[in-house]
């Protein structure tokens, strides 16, 4: 069963691939041997067993362990989330190139299918792992854990995690990242923050991307910013153009401070 | 929502988009219960899904039938408590109830501490 949409299966279909050259190296997920216990006799009466646990406890525990592990090695993981087409990968390509020589930068790419984004990142010279979620529409803590094991980031490095393009599901899943960045572009509706409040409320930073296109589109920047502030008053917000370079110094400074 | 959205504005289309991640949530529920109590038949499951949790209970019910199939939870009754949201406004220093995902105080402030309504918990199961 898919983790999210109902088709396929998460464990069966999630694939983690180190993309390095033309022949991707596959990482084969291990089999899970789950011994199932049958602790009780079957009775006709029912008894109530108190569980009192968070539904996402398993994800959140693994995310906490990942966060701890990364902090111990001074590795900063940034979770990038947005709709499809907001310019995440373009921003990453540019950022990886701009940061070359300043800090080692590695990338975990999340997509349902294909290695296309990973190959774009690979072309920048950065080490990259592609996670294909199959039918799943978000990354979870277990997938990032596997991705990081494959990526093996060195101490002190910066790891970008490009989540699956989706403003709904990724909002609920902590990956163990140091910060969450939500990207919205001016070719989208300015009311998007209001439509996807959970996502924008989890953001540490919002990047308003493609501002070079503002003269050509009907996008109300003030409305968008106001909606974002209403959802999260203290969120940091930067106006950028990943293609023309506007605002990228501020973006780099924000990253340097992580 | 517009800038002047009032708290009485109907919620926009949540069940439609909501179904997307509720399946992952439902799988986590079933996995967690099977892990704790094995494959033994379960008569009922009690959940707490706060009204500000971002999770749509109708979708959980829909997904539960699918996900529970073939496990000890198949056919189990699903009882879902939906605690209301409560928030404290840091601007006007008032505590109030709210069930709308666009969280605003009547004074217009969005600078709120959410006190309740984000619960996403498995409370108990009734084992046969």
pLDDT at B9: 32
The minimal CB distance from A49 to the residues B20, B37, B41 is found for: B37
Note the pLDDT of residue A33: 56
Q: Which residues of B touch A173 (CB under 8 A)?
A: 24
Domains identified in chain A, total number? 1
B63 is in an annotated binding site: no
Using alpha carbons only, what angle is made at residue B88 by residues B87 and B89, rounded to the nearest 5 degrees? 115
Q: Which two tokens stand for residue A205?
A: 């930073």
> Which of B19, B21, B29, B124 best probes binding to A when mutated, by most A CB atoms within 10 angstroms?
B21
Residue A31 lies in a domain: no
Whether residue A86 is contained in a domain is answered as: yes
Asked if the structure places residue A27 within a domain, the reply is no
In a domain, A44, yes or no: no
Q: What pLDDT is stored for residue A37 in this prediction?
A: 54
A15 in any annotated domain: no
Q: What is residue B89's predicted lDDT score, i.e. its pLDDT?
A: 92
In angstroms, what separates the C-alpha of A198 from chain B's closest C-alpha? 7
CA distances to A85, A134, B25, B49 from A4, rounded to whole Å, are 21, 10, 8, 18
Q: In degrees, to the nearest 5, what angle opens at C-alpha A60 toward C-alphas A58 and A65?
A: 100
Selection from A162, A128, A120 nearest residue A25 by Cα: A128
What domains are defined for chain B?
Answer: 16-84+117-127 (3.30.2320.50)
HEC-encoded secondary structure of chain A: CCCCCCCCCHHHHCEEEEECCCCCEEECCCCCCCCCCCCCCCCCCCEEEEEEEECCHHHHHHHHHHHHHHHHCCCEEEEEEECCCCCHHHHHHHHHHHHCCCCCEEEEEEECCCCHHHHHHHCCCCEEEEEECCCCCCCCHHHHHHHHHHHCCCCCCEEEEECCCCCCHHHHCCCCCCEEEEEEECCCCCCHHHHCHHHHHCCCEEEEECHHHHHHCCCCHHHHHHHHHHHCCCCEEEECCCCCCCCHHHHHHHHHCC
Q: Are A195 and A231 spatial neighbours (Cβ–Cβ below 8 Å)?
A: no
Q: What is the pLDDT of residue A179?
A: 98
Contact B110, B103 (CB under 8 A): yes
The answer to whether B109 is annotated as binding is no
CB proximity A68 to B under 8 Å: no
Q: Hunting for tokens 């907001």 — which residue is that?
A: A86
User: Using CB atoms and an 8 Å cut-off, which of residues 162-191 of chain A contact chain B?
Assistant: 166, 168-169, 171-173, 191
* Per-residue model confidence as pLDDT tens for chain A (258 residues): 334 333 334 444 678 888 876 555 555 555 555 555 555 554 458 899 999 889 998 899 999 999 999 999 999 999 999 999 999 999 999 999 999 989 999 999 998 888 899 999 999 999 999 999 887 789 999 999 999 999 999 999 999 999 999 998 899 899 999 999 999 999 999 999 998 999 999 999 999 999 999 999 999 999 999 999 988 989 999 999 999 999 999 999 999 999
Q: Is residue A37 part of a domain?
A: no
Could you tell me if residue A18 is inside a domain?
no
CATH number at residue A205: 3.40.50.300
Find the domain containing A174 and state its range.
57-257
How far is A234 from A95, CA to CA, in rounded Å? 25
Question: Which of B23, B121, B126 has the CB atom closest to A5's CB atom?
Answer: B23
Selected residues 211-250 of chain A with any CB under 8 Å from a CB in chain B: 223, 226-227, 229-233
> Is B84 an interface residue toward A (CB < 8 Å)?
no
**Helix, strand, or coil here: B91?**
coil
**ipTM of predicted complex:** 0.73
Q: What parts of chain B have a pLDDT lower than 50?
A: 1-19
Q: Is A36 a domain residue?
A: no
């Amino acid at each position: 069963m898919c983790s999210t949409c109902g088709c396929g299966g998460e464990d069966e279909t999630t694939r983690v691939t180190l993309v390095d050259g033309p022949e991707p190296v596959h990482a084969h997920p291990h089999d899970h041997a789950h011994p199932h216990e049958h602790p009780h006799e079957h009775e006709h009466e029912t008894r109530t067993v108190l569980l009192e646990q968070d539904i996402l406890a398993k994800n959140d525990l693994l995310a906490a362990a990942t966060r701890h592990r990364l902090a111990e090695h001074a590795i900063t993981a940034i979770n990038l989330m947005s709709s499809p087409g907001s310019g995440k990968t373009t921003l990453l390509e540019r950022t990886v190139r701009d940061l070359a020589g300043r800090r080692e930068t590695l990338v975990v790419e999340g997509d349902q299918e294909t290695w296309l984004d990973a190959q774009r990142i690979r072309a920048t010279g950065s080490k990259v792992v592609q996670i294909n979620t199959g039918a799943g529409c978000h990354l979870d803590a277990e997938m990032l854990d596997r991705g990081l094991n494959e990526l093996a980031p060195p101490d002190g490095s910066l790891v970008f995690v490009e989540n699956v393009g989706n403003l709904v599901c990724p909002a609920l899943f902590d990956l163990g990242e140091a910060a969450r960045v939500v990207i919205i572009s001016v070719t989208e509706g300015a009311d998007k923050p209001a439509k996807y409040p959970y996502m924008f409320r989890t953001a540490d930073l919002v990047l308003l991307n493609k501002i070079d296109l503002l003269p050509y589109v009907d996008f109300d920047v003030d409305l968008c910013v106001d909606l974002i502030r209403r959802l999260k008053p203290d969120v940091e917000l930067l106006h950028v153009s990943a293609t023309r370079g506007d605002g990228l110094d501020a973006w780099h400074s924000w990253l340097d401070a992580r | 929502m517009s800038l002047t959205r009032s708290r009485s504005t109907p919620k926009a289309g949540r069940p439609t988009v909501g179904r997307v991640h509720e399946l992952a949530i439902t799988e986590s529920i079933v996995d967690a219960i099977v892990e704790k109590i094995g494959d033994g038949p379960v008569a009922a499951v009690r959940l707490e899904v706060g009204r500000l949790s971002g999770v749509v209970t109708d979708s959980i019910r829909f997904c539960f039938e699918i996900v529970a199939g073939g496990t000890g939870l198949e056919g189990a009754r699903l009882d879902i408590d939906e605690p209301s949201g409560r928030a404290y406004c840091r601007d006007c220093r008032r505590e109030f109830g709210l069930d709308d995902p666009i969280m605003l105080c009547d004074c217009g402030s969005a600078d709120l501490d959410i006190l309740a309504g984000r619960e996403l918990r498995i409370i108990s199961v009734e084992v046969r």
